[in-house]
Structure 1
Amino acid sequence: MHAFRDLEVAAYCPRKLYYRRRAGDPEVPDRVETVRDLAFSYEELLDVDAAVLSAPIEPDPATYRERLERARSELSIWDDLVDPAARDAYLEGREARGIAHKVLDDPPVPSLAFAGRPPEQGVWEPQSVRLVAAAKALAWEREQRVERAVAEYPAYGVIRPIDLTARRTGAYRRAVRTAESVDGPPARTDDEAKCDACEYRDECGTRTRSLRSMLG
């Protein structure tokens, strides 16, 4: 059984997954935890000036609040997002296991909070794979269909529900097959656009796909 995070890494770069497995799971940086905590403070960030002024957000406070206000007015699931049925819920499905930062009920929907920058539209494909993994694990546990998931980018005030389309499910299946097949260093590829931020770049030195191919 694969961890949600491993499937995300498999979709991002199979070679990185190989080195990650050799090194063991890294600790989650404090900054990532701090940013994820913002996803549980949206109402406070909207209503309390001191909270938004001291928060580790990327846009200016006015822009940040404008984005959250738009989400509050447009998303039917807003109330469930700010007060989820479960927080940091461990889910175990047929193929994958891991943590959903929030689980919404009626209908069941998993939500994951990502510390990084969102794309202009949609979600990054590796993150889409992780979201599908969480949705499928939740469906397996509840024994009912789960057709949506939510990507939250709390440092940016961006919340994006996604449907489990055939394309996203296909990317998830490919990531599962990749994770199952990685037992040695995968072949090098030709695009180093993602290598600069990789913690294994010194020992790997590979090149990977273009950023355009990462969008899901």
Structure 2
Amino acid sequence: MSSLVAASDLARAAYCPRQLYYARRDDDRAPPAAVAGVRALAFEYPDLLDASDDALAARPISVSPATYRERLARLRERDDWDALTDPVARDELLAGKDCRGVAHKLVRPTDDESERPPEPVPSLVSPGEPPERGVWEPQRVRAVALAKALAWEREASVPRALVEYPAVGVVRTVRLTTQNKAAYRRALRVARDLDFVPSRLRDSAKCESCAYRERCGVKTWSLSSLLGR
């Protein structure tokens, strides 16, 4: 188990290897306390759909109450609404061949008419907001890692995962496409080989929201510079 890479580390590796280095060095990989409040929304969709403006305004949503209810109403039209609101498991620790991580939900698919009950798919609940389309690469990588870990445990095909953004009432699907699996493998290589301080990103918007921004410094340090070469 100790040799397995944490799925959250893969997400950091995809976002910025230097960020992962700092998180490992400082043993600082727990999410901020505010994250729990946002993730809790993902388990209350039916109640939130009927909540008043004042009740919604008191919760950590990132859009207006009216917009939030509209998005949950659209979410209710999904075939897997019942499965999303009544998952077969919560906070399930998964361990695969290469990585381990927590699926915030295991959601039973509803589009399989075979005699054998379909395997559930993992759902990652994100405290942030999605891009206009799809899912941010770090979350795609983490979702793929969870799907692969679940497939390893169940010895079954798990062709997709979900990423929920409960602060805005949006759920996106991540399929295990060739492109997404390639991104996962890249992040896995980075996470496994990270035994020195990676170069700092140059002029990246990613730095603006990074928790290590103030500690990261303004210079790009290479391995050679650290060795005084």
TM over 0.5: yes
Unmatched 5+ stretches in structure 1: 209-216
The equivalent of 1:164 in structure 2 is 176
Query: Do structure 1's residue 62 and structure 2's residue 66 form an aligned pair?
Result: yes
Given candidates 153, 178, 183, the residue that maps to 2:165 is 153
Query: Contact 2:16/2:201 (CA < 8 Å) preserved in 1?
Result: no
Deviations 1:120-154 (A, max 9, x none): 11000011000000000010111101001111000
Query: Which SS does the other structure have where 1:56 is aligned?
Result: coil
Structure 2 unaligned residues grouped into runs of 5+: 109-117, 221-229
Letter in 2 for 1:55: R
TM-score by length of 2: 0.86
Over 3 Å counting, the alpha-carbon distance change for 1:96 and 1:6 in structure 2 is same
Matched with 2:107 is 104
Once the two structures are superposed, what CA deviation does each residue of 1:187-211 show, in whole Å capped at 9, x if it has no partner?
2342331112212223323699xxx
Aligned residues of 1:192 and 1:207 also touching (Cα < 8 A): no
In the alignment, which of 89, 92, 102 is matched to residue 92 of structure 2? Answer: 89
Aligned residue pair count: 207
Partners of 1:83 and 1:127 lie apart in 2 by: 23
Once the two structures are superposed, residues 86-143 of structure 1 have per-residue CA deviations (whole angstroms, 9 ceiling, x without a partner) of 0000101111101100002333200011001111110000110000000000101111
Say which of 197, 203, 215 aligns to 2:215.
203
SS at match of 1:132: helix
Q: Would you say the 8 A contact 2:22–2:212 is kept in 1? A: yes
| Inter-partner Cα distance in structure 2 for 1:123 and 1:134 | 15
In structure 2, the residue matched to 1:140 is 152
Q: Which runs of 4 or more aligned residues in structure 1 lie more than 3 Å from their structure 2 counterparts after TM superposition?
A: none
Asked if the contact 1:191/1:207 (under 8 Å) is kept, the reply is no
Look at both structures and tell me which one has the larger radius of gyration over its CA atoms.
2
Supply the distance in 2 between the matched residues of 1:104 and 1:196 (Cα, whole angstroms): 34
Name 2:139's counterpart in structure 1. Answer: 127
